[in-house]
A and B are shown apart, each in its own frame.
Chain A
C-alpha cells in the first residue's frame, strides 16, 4: 500500500512563503496520488518556472523542472515516450495562461492522458508582483500601476472550448475538496485541467483566502452535473458574485495515445533499438 510517507521529500527545504496556498496544493497532490494508489517511481511531475515550478522538488516522485511556460510541452514528450507513466504537469497562471498558452490549448485539443494542475494566484509572485493573464481588470500591480486594461483569461472556458475532457476549479483553502478534484483528474483518461485558486499572501491583497472563502461555492452542492458542454461553458463565466468550485465538464473521448497504432504494443521506451532493419527503407531508393 502506498502512503503519504512514500511521497515525502524530507531532505529538501520548502522555499515557498509562509502561508502560501502552494502548500495545500502540494498536500492535496500527495493525497490524490496516494488515493489513486500510484507508486512514486511511476509518477512524473513536470513543471515550468515560478513558485509553482519548484513543486517537483518537494515531493518524492520523478520530476522534470523545465522552462517558463513549457511544462505541458515537456510533459507531452514524456507521455509519448512512455505512456505507462502517470504524467502530471504543474504550473502557474503566468506560466500556463501567459507564456505557455500555446502548449496548453493544443494539449487540450490532443486530449493527452495527463493532468495539469495550475496554481492560479492572479499575479506574478516570484518576479515580485506584476500583472498576470488572470489578473482582473483594474487590478494595480508593479507593471500596471494605473490598473489592468485587458480582460482576464478564463482558463475554464478556454479549456472547455479547446477540447479538454476534464475541467475543474479548486481552491487551495479547501484541501480535501482539492485533493478529490486532482485525483479525479489523474484518474480521468484524457487531458484534465485543475485550475486552483491559490492566493498569493505577499503580492495579491485583493484575491485573498478571505475573498475566496466568501465567494466560492461547490457545483456539486447545487446538483450540477458536468456532462453538458454548453452548460459547462455558461458556468465557466460565473465569477463576480459567486465563484463555482468543482468539476465543470467531464467527457469520455479517445486520448491521443490511443490513436497511435505505434503505441498499441507498448510504450516507445520499451521498444528495442539495437540492430534495426533498414533494408525496406533503402530498397525504396535503389
Chain B
C-alpha cells in the first residue's frame, strides 16, 4: 500500500475540460494536506488535438513531476493508447465507456487495469456534458479510497457563486462516478490518499505568483497584448483590476503596451506589461527609451520556444541573452529569473523596488513551464516587504526645489526624480541623449558623462538582493548550476541522488543583471566538477558566466525540445558525470 504519494494524469481533446479535472484534483490534494506539482501539455489550437494534465502529489514538498502514472483519466481512445506505456505497475486507467469502445483500445501490459465508467452518460443525467469533469472526479475519489464528502465540499466552494442548482448538478455527477466505481467492486487500488493536517499552503502557478507580487509592490497600471503563455497575467489583472484599483488596458499591440507603461512610469505610477518572446521583440525600441530616459517599469517575458512563432505552447529558456541585450545602444537593466511560484512572488516585489531605485526597466523571465505549472507552496510571507521608491521626490521636497536637474550627475549615478504635476520640476523626459536638465545634447563630453552615470546605477542596488541561492551539500566538489525554472527539477533530482548517498551542491542563479559575479566565481572555483543545466541549445548562461567570471563550466546539459527537464534525465546526467570522474 502506497499512501499519499502518486502521479495522476488526465488526457483528452482540447476543450474537453482536462485542465478543470486537473485543477480539481490538485485542490483536493491541497485540502488533504498534501503537496503537489502539476504540468499541462497542449497544442496551439482551441478544440480538438490532445491535451494532458499531469499532477504529482506527495506528503513532502515537491518541485517537479517524477515517476510513472498511477492513475489516468482518459476521455478518448487516444489518451488510453498514448499513455498506457507511461503507467506504473498495476496502474489504473479510468476511461469514458460512452466515448471509448473496448475494441478501439489495446493495452499490451497485462498489469495495467482498465476501469470503464460511463462518464458521458452520468454527465448527461446530471444535466449536460459540462458535468463530465465531476463524474470523472467522483470516480477518481472512489479509486483513491477518499471520502466523497471531501469532493462535495470542494464542489460547493468552487461553484458557490454560480448558485445552488449548479452546485447540485456537479454533486450529482460526482456521486454517480463515485458510486459506479464503488459498486463495481474492482480490486482494491494499492494507492490511497489519506488526508492529514498541514500548515497553510497556496495552489498556484508562477504567472499568478508574479501578479500577486506585483500587486503587493503597488502596481497601478498594466498594459498588455495577449500572447501565450503570458495571457493569464492579463486575465488575472483584468479580473482584479477594480477591487485592487489597478487600470488594466488590453492595448492595440505590444508596442503600445510598453509605451503606455513608459508614460505611466514617467508620471510616477508603478506599471507593468507581460508578454512572450514575440511581443518582447516588438517592445525592444521602447525598452531603450526607458533606459536612456531613466524610467522605471517592469516587463514580464513568459518565454516560449522560439525563434519567431516557434512552438507557441511549449517551453524554453532561450531569451536570456535577448533580455540582456535587447534594444540598441547600452543602458542598465534588471533581469530576474525566478525559479518557482514562491520566488516569482518575492522577486517580483523586489524587482519593482530595484527598477524604481535604479530608475531603469526591469525584465522578469518566466517560461511556459513554471508560468503555467500549478504547484502547492507554503503561504507567502510578507514580513520585511517594504516598498522603496528610491530618489522619487515628494511634493514637499519639490516645493523648495531650485534649478532641479532630473538627470543630475551624482556619485552613484542616481538622480533625484520628480513627476509631472509637481512644481519646480518641469523637464523633458527624452529618448534623445540629453544633458542634466533633460535637454537634447550631442556634446561629446556630456555623452560620456551621461553614459557613465547610467552605467553606475546598478551598483547602487544592495548586492544581497540579487545573490544566487545555494542548495545541497556546501562541501561537495560537484557543483550544478542552473537558472530560472530548471531549479525545481534539480531539487527533485537531488532528492533522488540523496537516496544513493550522492550529495551535490547546487547554485540557482536568480539575477543575470545585476550579476553576482564574485559569489558565482567563488563557488565555481571551489568545485572540482561543474555542470550547467539550461533550456537552450547555446548554453547562454554558461557563456554569460564565462564572460563575467572568466570561468568555463566544463559540462553542459542543454535541453531545447520544447519540454522541461525531467528528474530522470537529470539524475542520469549527474551520475554519468560522476562516474566519468571515478574512471580518471
A residues with CB within 8 A of B: 11-12, 40-42, 44, 46, 49, 54, 56-57, 60-67, 70, 73-82, 84-85, 102-103, 106, 260-263, 265, 268-269, 271, 273-276, 278, 280-282, 285-286
A278 contacts B215, C-beta separation under 8 Å = yes
Instruction: Give chain B interface residues in 250-271, CB to chain A under 8 Å.
Output: 251-253, 255-256, 259-271
Partner of B263, one of A61, A64, A84, A273: A64
Given contact pairs A41-B420, A67-B289, A81 touches B431 in the complex (Cβ within 8 A): no
A82-B267, A262-B241, A282-B202 known; A64+B428 contact, CB < 8 A: yes
Determine whether the beta carbon of B247 is less than 8 Å from that of A262. yes
Interface pairs (11), CB distance under 8 Å: A56-B428, A62-B425, A66-B259, A70-B256, A74-B263, A77-B265, A82-B420, A274-B386, A278-B212, A278-B380, A282-B380
Q: Is B195 interfacial (CB 8 A cutoff)?
A: no
Q: B246 near A81 (CB under 8 angstroms)?
A: no
Chain B residues touching A, range: 35 or more
Q: Tell me, yes or no, whether B72 is within 8 Å of chain A by CB.
A: no
B430 touches which of A65, A85, A269, A273 (Cβ 8 Å):
A65
B171-196 vs A, CB cutoff 8 Å, 1 = contact: the mask equals 00000000000000000000000000
- Chain B residues with Cβ below 8 Å from A285 are 202-204, 208
Task: State whether A268 touches B215 (Cβ < 8 A).
Answer: no
* With A57-B439, A73-B263, A282-B379: A269-B215 Cβ-Cβ less than 8 Å: no
> Which of B217-225, B521-529, B562-570 lies at the binding interface?
B217-225
Complex CA distance for A54 and B430, rounded to whole angstroms: 10
A40-B426, A103-B255 known; 18 other A-B pairs, CB under 8 Å? A42-B421, A44-B267, A56-B428, A64-B429, A67-B285, A67-B286, A70-B256, A73-B255, A73-B259, A73-B263, A78-B266, A80-B247, A81-B220, A82-B419, A84-B421, A102-B253, A278-B380, A281-B240
Instruction: With both chains docked as a complex, state the minimum distance between the C-beta of B298 and any C-beta of chain A, in angstroms.
Output: 13
Point out the residue from A49, A61, A269 that lies within 8 Å of B267, measured CB to CB.
A269
> Would B215 and A63 count as touching, CB distance under 8 A?
no
Known: A73-B260, A77-B271, A269-B268. A65 touches B432 (CB 8 A): yes
Chain B residues with CB under 8 A of A80? 221, 247, 249, 260, 263-264
Query: Please, which residue of chain A has its CB at the minimum distance from the CB of B212?
Result: A281
Q: How far is the CA of A282 from the CA of B211 in the complex (A)?
A: 11
CA distance A177 to B40 in the complex (A): 63
Interface residues of B in 400-421 (CB under 8 A from A): 419-421
A265 to B245, CA, bound (A): 10
Most B CB contacts (10 A, CB to CB) among A54, A73, A261 go to A73
Q: How long is the Cα–Cα vector from A252 to B12 in the complex, in angstroms?
A: 52
Residue of B nearest to A71 (CB): B259
Which of B203, B215, B424, B426 contacts A276 (CB under 8 A)? Answer: B215
- Interface residues, chain B, CB within 8 Å of chain A? 30, 200-204, 208, 212, 215-218, 220-221, 223, 240-247, 249, 251-253, 255-256, 259-271, 285-286, 289, 379-380, 382, 386-387, 419-432, 438-440
Instruction: Report the minimum CB–CB distance from B443 to chain A (whole Å).
Output: 13
Contacts of B425 in A (CB 8 A): 41, 62
Please name all residues of chain B whose beta carbon is closer than 8 Å to the beta carbon of A11 when the two chains form the complex.
439
Complexed CA–CA distance, A42 and B426 (Å): 9
Whether B264 contacts A102 by the Cβ 8 Å rule is: no
| Complex alpha-carbon distance, A156 and B289, angstroms | 30
**Whole-angstrom CA separation of A260 from B245 in the bound complex:** 10
Chain B minimum-CB-distance residue to A106:
B252
Q: Is the CB of B382 within 8 A of A278?
A: yes
Residues B263 and A268 in contact, CB atoms below 8 Å apart: no
What's the minimum C-beta distance from A48 to chain B, rounded to whole angstroms? 9
Q: How far is the CB of A15 from chain B (nearest CB, A)?
A: 9
Residues of B within 8 A of A78 (CB): 263-264, 266-267, 420
| Given known A70-B255, A286-B200, contact A268–B428 (CB-CB < 8 A) | no
CA A75 to CA B259, docked complex, whole Å: 9
Q: Which residues of A contact B204 (CB under 8 A)?
A: 285
Complex: A271 Cα to B243 Cα, angstroms:
13
A77 and B216 contacting across the interface, CB-CB below 8 Å: no
What is the bound-complex CA distance between A84 and B265, given in angstroms? Answer: 16
Q: Smallest Cβ distance from B422 to chain A, in angstroms?
A: 6
B426 x A77 contact (CB < 8 A): no
Tell me the smallest distance from the CB of B351 to a CB of chain A, in Å. 15
Interface-centre pick from A57, A74, A78, A278 (highest chain B CB count, 10 A) = A74
Check B240 against A66 for contact (C-beta < 8 Å): no
Q: Which 3 A-B pairs have the closest CB atoms?
A: A273-B218, A77-B263, A63-B428
Residue of A nearest to B256 (CB): A73
Among B244, B421, B439, the residue within 8 A (CB) of A85 is B421
What's the minimum C-beta distance from A206 to chain B, rounded to whole angstroms?
31
Query: What is the chain B residue whose CB lies nearest that of A74?
Result: B263
B79 to chain A, nearest CB (A): 28
Please state if B221 and A81 are interface contacts (CB–CB under 8 Å): yes
Least distance between B392 CB and chain A CB atoms (Å): 11
CB distance from A218 to the nearest CB of B (A): 34
CA distance A268 to B267 in the complex (A): 10
Q: Is the CB of B266 within 8 A of A64?
A: yes
A273 and B268 in contact, given A73-B260, A106-B256 (Cβ under 8 angstroms): no
A106 to B419, CA, bound (A): 26
A46 to B289 Cα, complex, angstroms: 13
Across the interface, do A81 and B427 meet the contact criterion of CB distance under 8 Å?
no
